[in-house]
Structure 1
Amino acid sequence: MANDLATIDFGVTYTPTEIKINNQELLKDQVKKYADKYKGWSVITEESVDGDKLVRTDLNRMKKSFDDKRKEIKGEYNKPLKKFESQVKDMTSIIDDVLGPLDEGIKKIEENQRQERKENVLGLIAEIAAGYNIDPAEVQFDPKWTNKSITKKKLTDQITDSVKLLQRQHKAYEINKRLIEEHCKIKKIDPAGWIAQLSNERDAAEIIDSIDQFLIDQEKQKIAEQKLAEAEKAKQEALQQKIGGKVINTETGEVVDDKPSEYTVSIKLTGTQAGIIQAMQQVNRFKDSFEVSTEVIEKMSEV
């Protein structure tokens, strides 16, 4: 489409206006001499304050006269500029009325084109990922892949690199998983919760160290709880005495039931799968120490 405006000479006639202060040097010299008379005038006394006020009034009057003249000249100087700006804004507003819808239409077309390129990229991702047995959804999409400037070769190379990285991560995961499973088998614990902790930042070596430390801490806790339970039991037995066929607590005088009543409590655990599994392992490991039994009422389900 030809641009008719290109044939119009958009020249602007502009004649710089000279602003000149008559007898500037003489005036400046007189002002300086007047100001020098009072330069360093800092000692104000009760006797001089009335005269000092008069000096201040004269200086302010002189300053205001200069500033008033500046404002007067500036107002006149800006009149043609304001008129010119108004004329330019009037013409640009006419262009904006057309430019807005035009710009919006172009952006819409460009977005459609970008979306089409994205679909093509997704297709290429699916094609490359299939060759490496990788789920295309795992490939992190890079917005730069939809740029018009990117070549097909560069795009293919970058997607292939991403897919190969995922493949290496999968292989590393499987190796780490097997190592954890073997270690848990030796230690006779459920590996599920520990495998769930695998990530690109945490490998089998770190998790195996955590397993060993967990078992050490668990054993220490078990021994401590057993000792505590034994001490409490010994204390209670020391306070009990059989009198007339009944067991009496010598400290409180209460009759101790040889067969205490049993109670049932239901606890709902909410958390990650790994956390719940570890908690249940703890309960099962120490239940005998507290002479309690456990029963799964309802299988684990996702919240």
Structure 2
Amino acid sequence: MKDVTNTTLTEIKVDFTPAKIDIDREAIEAQVQAAIAKYSGKEVSTETYKEVYEERTNYNKLKDALETKRKEIKGTINQPYKDFENWYKEKVLNPLEKVMDEMTAGLNAIDEHERLMRVDVVRATFEDKCMVAGIEKSTFADKYDEYSLKKYFKTGKYELKKTTLDEMDALVLSEFDALEECKANKQAIQEQVQEYDLPVDSYIRHLEDGKSLVDVLKMMKTDRDAEIARKEQKEAQEKAEAERLAEIEQLAKENANAHIKAYDAETGEILEQGTITPKPQNNVREVPKFEPSESLTINLRLTLHGGKSQFDQLKEWLEDNFISFETLEG
């Protein structure tokens, strides 16, 4: 048995002799060329049919025999490689990969343990700096893995480099400044909404979603102006409605006090000048008292300047006073 105590698998020496195939290539090529010269491009006639048929049968047999031999040669040549490949996979590659996987698993376990140790150092450092700055200690939790790389630590130690500490200080200071600015911006928004008489929550959300203070203040001014315009429009509408109702009431009073003039139907002479105001109706109808006398019928032409509503009032007054009337066509 060979002594392999001090050997390594850096090199493997293999002696390989290519296979040699002996065949009379010239004789075979000559036969093929002769067949091509004899039958290529020539028509088959009734007289040559049997001869061509037999020759083709011979050529088929020759081709089949050559193909069989070729496959046999290929199998013979490939067999040494198949034997080598089976040995290589079973005795060399598979066992070597198995032990390498075991070695990798052990190395990875050590690497992960050391990485977690470095993560603990990074987390503790960030939390201490956040506590001093008065900000939430888990603010930089997303940075722990990034700063756990070996390049941020002193060689062979679980101790951060000074450049790493300086970077972490800059991150904490930047976050502190951003929080202070955010507080100031929120205070500015709260003061402005009091002046504009607007709700504060939506504008604070816009700020927290990333909009700048200038943009939020512009939004507030736009909303304030829109609210003022809405109130002014509402007041104008209410004023216009009040004026419209007052005008309607005035027209109703004027119509109630309109003049009713009586004219002679034939001459057009004004027979009575004055205002006829219908008497207000009581819940209990009073029957007018008058002395019995002979009935009087007269023809009148009336012009009612108050229109139909005035005519309706006149009819009601005539009926209340037992005065019969009729409307003549034309």
TM class by shorter-chain length? 0.5 to 0.7
Deviations 1:115-140 (A, max 9, x none): 11100111111233334333231123
Gaps of 5+ in 2: 42-52, 154-160, 249-281, 284-330
Query: 1:13/1:190 Cα in 2 relative to 1: closer, same or farther (>3 Å)?
Result: same
Instruction: Find 1:191's aligned residue among 158, 175, 200.
Output: 200
State yes or no: 1:141 paired with 2:143: yes
Q: Do the aligned residues in 2 keep the contact of 1:121 with 1:146 (CA within 8 Å)?
A: yes
Query: 1:138/1:88 Cα in 2 relative to 1: closer, same or farther (>3 Å)?
Result: same
CA–CA distance in structure 1, aligned partners of residues 12 and 113 of structure 2: 37
Match of 2:301 in 1: none
For 1:201, give the aligned amino acid: G
State yes or no: 1:105 paired with 2:114: no
Query: 1:158/1:64 Cα in 2 relative to 1: closer, same or farther (>3 Å)?
Result: farther
Query: 1:77/1:189 Cα in 2 relative to 1: closer, same or farther (>3 Å)?
Result: same
Deviations 1:48-96 (A, max 9, x none): xxxxxx9xx9x99999988776655443333222211211111233334
Q: Secondary structure at the match of 1:138?
A: coil
CA–CA distance in structure 2, aligned partners of residues 215 and 60 of structure 1: 100
Deviation at 1:112, TM superposition (A): 1.4
Q: How does 1:69-88 map to 2 (within 5 A)?
A: 72-88=72-88
Match of 1:275 in 2: none
Report % sequence identity.
21
Instruction: Find 1:202's aligned residue among 211, 220, 243.
Output: 211
Deviations 1:156-213 (A, max 9, x none): 2332232122123113212322321222122022323311221373111111112222
For 1:17, give the aligned amino acid: A
Q: Report which structure shows greater RCO (CA 8 Å, sep ≥6).
A: 1
State yes or no: 1:150 paired with 2:152: yes
Deviation at 1:222, TM superposition (A): 5.6
Match of 1:46 in 2: none
State yes or no: 1:125 paired with 2:126: yes
CA–CA distance in structure 2, aligned partners of residues 117 and 97 of structure 1: 30
Query: 1:207/1:15 Cα in 2 relative to 1: closer, same or farther (>3 Å)?
Result: same
Query: 1:158/1:21 Cα in 2 relative to 1: closer, same or farther (>3 Å)?
Result: farther
Q: How does 1:278-297 map to 2 (within 5 A)?
A: none
CA–CA distance in structure 1, aligned partners of residues 113 and 65 of structure 2: 65
Instruction: Find 1:166's aligned residue among 139, 158, 175.
Output: 175
CA–CA distance in structure 1, aligned partners of residues 20 and 220 of structure 2: 88
Match of 1:296 in 2: none
For 2:105, give the aligned amino acid: E
Q: How does 1:251-270 map to 2 (within 5 A)?
A: none
Deviation at 1:155, TM superposition (A): 2.4
Gaps of 5+ in 1: 40-53, 239-243, 246-303
State yes or no: 1:89 paired with 2:89: yes
Query: 1:126/1:19 Cα in 2 relative to 1: closer, same or farther (>3 Å)?
Result: farther
Name whichever of 109-118 and 212-221 sits farther off: 212-221
Q: Do the aligned residues in 2 keep the contact of 1:169 with 1:200 (CA within 8 Å)?
A: no
Larger Rg: 2
TM superposition score normalised by structure 2: 0.50
